[in-house]
Amino acid sequence: MKDDDNLVIEKILKGKKNAYEIIVKRYMKRAYFIALGFTGNHNDALDLSQEAFIKAYRSLHKFDLSMSFSSWFYTILKNLCLNFVKKNKEIGKAPWEIVDESKLKESLGPLGEAQRREMKKILWERISELPVKEREIILLRYFQQISYKEISKLIGCPLGTVMSRLYYAKKKLKENLKDILHK
């Protein structure tokens, strides 16, 4: 996809500004869900993902075509989200609506709807308590289904570091959830 993105970016840089729509459509959904994972709020996620596309567009002249656009864009989006969360101190809010209901039903068995909602709320509260780097790995791997290799490229660290962070993030999350897992 890197080559395909770069071809589109070359067109944009040569004056065909409408071609940016291709990039936006390609990354729009992922950008929204990543922002939602960081902010926990639908409207904020929409605003931040849109702001990231605008910022990326305005900075395309600085983009190195030998690099991956998705990694470059992800860095812009992540920094906007982290700055927003830090500025507004909204780390405690959580995006309950992005938990896959069918998987939750399978893992929780025959619980009632109210119990499922409560479990989602608790899960997101505990994910929100993780350090940013560990929360980021959990969100990318389990809520965006991004491969280890792609996560490595997105966040700019070795594959082993991704695997290690994920291991420790899951371990902390399991520890944070043990009080409700034993009930």
102 falls in which pLDDT band (50, 70, 90)? low
> Is the Cβ–Cβ distance between 124 and 78 less than 8 Å?
no
Average pLDDT over residues 23-46: 89
Average pLDDT over residues 156-173: 91
| 108 vs 19 pLDDT, higher one | 19
How far is the C-alpha of 116 from the C-alpha of 136, rounded, in Å?
24
Query: Residue for token digits 């989200």?
Result: 81
How far is the C-alpha of 128 from the C-alpha of 85, rounded, in Å?
11
Q: What is the pLDDT of residue 92?
A: 44
Residue 56 burial by Cβ neighbours in a 10 Å radius (0-12, 13-18, 19+):
buried
Residues in the chain: 183
| Percent of the chain whose predicted confidence (pLDDT) is above 90 | 36
Average pLDDT over residues 56-79: 91
Per-residue CA distances from 118 to 98, 108, 123, 150 (Å): 14, 12, 9, 32
* Domain ranges across the chain: 1-90
Of 1.10.1740.10, 1.20.58.710, 3.30.70.1290, 3.40.50.2000, which CATH number belongs to 1-90? 1.10.1740.10
> 3-state DSSP call for residue 23?
helix
Task: Give this prediction's pTM.
Answer: 0.69
Residue 109 burial by Cβ neighbours in a 10 Å radius (0-12, 13-18, 19+):
exposed
Average pLDDT over residues 156-160: 90
CA-based nearest residue to 135, from 123, 147, 153 = 123
What is the end-to-end Cα distance of the chain in Å, rounded?
46
Q: Indicate if the pLDDT at residue 8 is higher than 90.
A: yes
Q: What is the mean pLDDT of the chain?
A: 82
Sign of the alpha-carbon dihedral angle for 111, 123, 44, 48: negative
| 140 vs 89 pLDDT, higher one | 140
